[in-house]
Structure 1
Amino acid sequence: MTRSGPSTPALLGLTARLGAFVAGSPRRSLSGRLQTIVRNGFADTVATMIAGRMEPAAQIARRWAASRQSPGRGQAHVLLSQEQMSARDAALVNGVAAHALDYDDVGLQGHPSAVLVSALLAEGERLGSSGNDLINAYVAGHEVWAELISRDHDLHHLKGWHPTGVFGTLAAASAIAALRGLDAERAAHALGLAASMASGLAANFGSMAKPFHAGQAAAHGIDAADLAQAGMTAAPDVLEHPKGFLTAISASGRVNLEPLPADFGSVARLESLGLTVKKYPMCFATHRVIDAAMDLVKANDFGAAQLVSAEATVGPAQASMLRNARPATGLEAKFSLQFAVAAPLVAHACGLEQLEDTFVQRPDVQSLFEKLSIRIVNTSHPTEPTLAASDRLVLHLSDGRCLDSGEVFVARGEASAPLRDEDLAAKFHDCARTVEPTARQALLDTLLSLPDVRSVSQIVQSGLACKL
């Protein structure tokens, strides 16, 4: 493999500098806070993976991937079950299952852990990696995603891109390159190859294709690292070139193509941004409205049948994602602001039980959809720009009362208002409720001790004990 271009790090372009950053990631020491954030991301993602494993999208992906396997060539267990596949196909199925219920964590305008955890669990098992190896690789992938998406002032959702499938592919390639210890040149090529594999359309929200974006990003990250390690090359400036990745996916072309600052990576963005662990198995764009509805129900005595009209105030990107005004299935309801209001009013809850087709199709639920109007406000959340600065819900009742939530700035579970440890554990046990309690507690304990796990096989063995 030939080398070209300047060797002084300060003179290298964006692609090459990111490759150098990824190559140096395994040698960095991480704070206790970072380790805790990533540990929680792994535990929550495994929970949503277990909960989503029987969803049609996950089962279709599993059968499709199984049909591609060569006998005796299994490298990693799929969904912590007895079945084994190649690491890239195990990552694909894991990712689809983790995102199938839209219950996985949120950040960087997408779903980082569904991609990164799915890829790292599979590849980490193949390599015999430690928990600390996984944490360092996760942080490297997250930092690359954070840097690249921060360079565009426009929202990718509004153009039609799903950042989980787009940026997640490059993040997964970075994480896998870091896990394998690729040198800076090969890591940069992995990024360049991943840039040509990145895709995912917002028009597919509310369909099985959306969780497939997460699985495909995880698998393509491994593919890109495989190809780079084998000697395949990509353009050395593929990210920053005027016809490169950042410009091509931008809504306006107004992107920052400058080299990285000299202190890049000295403080991981994950430390300040954290991860948002979802309280509800719904698109995160609905969560503040759900919180508002739940609070109004709790504080006031009224029945859903008393609702005359309702008005929800959200941002334009939220409205564009929540495209299903009259959902007929649980999958469609995940992307419906109408359902986000109806479920709390009817059931005083918005959990996995309410996302069943039978509940969504109930006449008393369906009758509320047409009563909601949506008001758009052009403000921006300080850390999650796909959201408005605040959401609001106003309910008008048949007895003349007007119930107003006021502005809701923070959703429960958001990084700035994280779920308590007991809430995280409760979510894990709810997602894995079909598993025998002692076995699922042992799996949770193993995941929560991730920094001390000597080999991914410990996590796998705990999962196999659950007999999924």
Structure 2
Amino acid sequence: MSLALEIARRAGALDYETFDPQAIKWAKQAMADMVGCALLGANTDTTTMAIEAGAFPAGDCLVLGRQMRLGKLEAAFVNGTSGHALDYDDTSKSLSGHPTVIIVPGLLALAEELGSSGRDFVDAYIVGVETATRIARGVNFHHYEKGWHPTATLGIFGAIAAAARMMRLPDEQLANALCIGASLASGVKANFGTPVKPMHAGLAARNGLFAALLAQQGFEAAPEALEGRQGFLDVFNGAGNYDADKMLTGWGRPLDLLEPGISIKKYPCVYSVHGAIDAGIALHGSIVPSDIEGVLVRMHPRRLLPHVLNPATSALNAKFSLSYAVARALVNGAVTLDHFEDEALHDPDVVHIMNLVQMKPLDDRSNDYGAEVCVTLKDGSTLTEAVAAPLGRGPEVPLPESMLATKFMDCAGRSVTRQGAQTVFDMLMALESLPSMRDLTAEIKAGTLN
């Protein structure tokens, strides 16, 4: 039996009736977070350029945050791009990427076309997350460290499985769709800090849906396109750098949504720097920025990759700059959306401290997202703050729902009326009871400002 069919049978065996209620709760929170991020990113230059370059014809599926409807593939692409445009959407420990922004856009477009219920939507989303993260367990962290962007290269398989679930494709067609997806997966981390990174999400969302639709039509791929010679695993990871058995064990016991879980961002920047931000904010009240002589940040070496080592030179690449994020935390005691506007990069106190930041790896290699910030003052004294895990880092330190609601309103309020945003958030929090996903998109469109 091919690896794709083994995966498809495990995905097909997942049963909504057996899902832990906490997994359903996490699914709703993650999806609400992603919708809020898409409403925030709807009118960014990144999204606007993607729409204008595509010159897409009108269709039936809503573009979140705009008075525009496109075809389902085009809507999936645009909503995936806007959802990741500001790098504020959730992340997955197993995936080492952003699962929800890949899965929801295609699923939403498909649900509009089919008139699917909220329960079906939640079910398909959970299946998609489980599929993407189980595949990821067999290739990470080599896949991530090699330079692939797992949000796109692995997330696409979650988008495929979610769409196939909603379309009620048999296991054999899902397996074929996964093999089609092996040739549609793409995304390299060299493009982090540019509009191409959010485009990765848009393309993966679009291509995941496309692969499922092709399989439904009988479009055939090689059955062993994942594990075969020169297949996905050989090409993307290389022989000896993956473990197919890890992809096949433990499905749903527990669901990946619960262990290790989804992480919801508190700050609008790359998740690798959130622990250091928390530590910097904790130090803020004890220092005067002008007294700072030096700053040392220590994190897991996996977090100290090229895209976080660079200083901030643009509003977009500032989201990946560890030195900028820590400087902001120390100076302002907060890191907000406004801090990633172009004019904010020239704050003299922030620029001064950003140039003082040094980075070294933590000795404790087990603490993947922990961070330590040590500030040396001009009088020679030092202040140190260590954070084991940033708030929002999965179920063990969950972001309180009140903070999620505040984040959603802040994000959605950039393109939807406040009343409309509140109604949409309430619908998302009760999504499994929604008769039709068309009700949700209609409410979003009714409240959209532009």
TM interval, short-chain normalised: over 0.9
C-alpha distance in structure 2 between counterparts of 1:361 and 1:125, whole Å: 44
Query: In the superposition, relative to structure 1, how do residues 27 and 393 fare at CA in structure 2: closer, same or farther (>3 Å)?
Result: closer
1:102 is aligned to 2:83: no
Q: Report the secondary structure of 2:265's partner residue.
A: coil
Q: Which runs of structure 2 are paired with 1:21-60 in the superposition (5 Å)?
A: 21-25=10-14, 29-60=18-49
SS of the equivalent of 2:19 reads coil
Q: 1:446·1:458 contact (CA, 8 Å) conserved in 2?
A: no
**Conserved 8 A contact 1:76-1:84:** yes
Task: Report the equivalent of 2:167.
Answer: 180
Call closer, same or farther: CA 1:88–1:191 in 2, change over 3 Å.
same
Contact 2:134 2:246 in 1 (8 A): no
- Structure 2 residue aligned with 1:89, among 56, 74, 92? 74
Contact 2:295 2:356 in 1 (8 A): yes
Q: Distance in 2 between matches of 1:269 and 1:185?
A: 24
Cα deviations by residue, 1:66-95 (Å, 9 ceiling, x for unpaired)? x132x5xx1311115331111111011101
> Alpha-carbon deviation of 1:379?
4.7
Which whole-Å CA distance do the structure 2 matches of 1:261 and 1:250 have between them?
A: 18
- 2:103 maps to which residue? 116
1:409 aligns with 2:388: yes
- Residue 366 (structure 1) shift: 1.5
Query: Residue 411 of structure 2 aligns with which residue?
Result: 431
Report percent identity of matched pairs. 32
The corresponding residue for 2:127 is: 140
Instruction: Write the deviation string for residues 166-212 of structure 1: whole angstroms up to 9, x where unpaired.
Output: 00111111111111001111111100001111011011111100011
Asked whether the 8 Å contact 2:138–2:245 carries over to 1, the reply is: no
Cα distance change of structure 1 residues 115 and 77 upon mapping to structure 2, 3 Å threshold: same
Residue pair 1:154, 1:250 contacting (<8 A) in 2 also: no
Alignment match, 1:443 = 424
1:373 maps to what in 2? 358
**RMSD value over aligned CA atoms?**
1.9
Distance 2:137 2:250 in 1: 16
CA deviation after TM superposition for structure 1 residue 152, in Å: 2.6
In 2: Cα distance, 1:257 partner to 1:152 partner:
8
Tell whether 2:282 aligns with 1:295.
yes
Q: For the Cα contact (< 8 Å) 2:128–2:158, is it kept in 1? A: yes
Structure 1 gap segments, 5+ residues each: 1-11
Distance 2:133 2:63 in 1: 28
For residue 247 of structure 1, report the CA deviation from its aligned partner.
Answer: 2.5
CA distance in 2, matches of 1:34, 1:321: 34
Name structure 2 gaps, 5 residues minimum: none
Task: Tell me if 1:277 matches 2:264.
Answer: yes
Are 1:20 and 2:9 matched, yes or no? Answer: yes
Matches within 5 A, 1:172-321: 172-250=159-237, 253-258=240-245, 261=248, 264-265=251-252, 267-298=254-285, 300=286, 302-321=287-306
What's the offset of the Cα at 1:63?
A: 2.0
Q: 1:4 maps to what in 2?
A: none
SS at match of 1:395: strand
Change (3 A) 1:440 1:262: closer
Measured in 1, the distance between the counterparts of 2:244 and 2:410 equals 45
Aligned length: 445
> Who is 1:464 aligned against?
445
Shift of 1:343: 0.6
Q: Is the 8 A contact 1:192 1:235 kept in 2?
A: yes
Letter in 1 for 2:362: V
Matches within 5 A, 1:379-390: 379-381=364-366, 387=368, 390=370
Question: Higher mean Cα deviation, 15-24 or 335-344?
Answer: 15-24
Displacement of 1:291: 0.1
C-alpha distance 458-404 of structure 1, shift in aligned 2 (>3 A): same
SS in 2 for 1:75: strand
Deviations 1:118-171 (A, max 9, x none): 221111111111111111111111111111111135432321100001001111
Which SS does the other structure have where 1:236 is aligned?
coil
- d(CA) in 2 for partners of 1:251 and 1:323? 26
Displacement of 1:348: 1.9
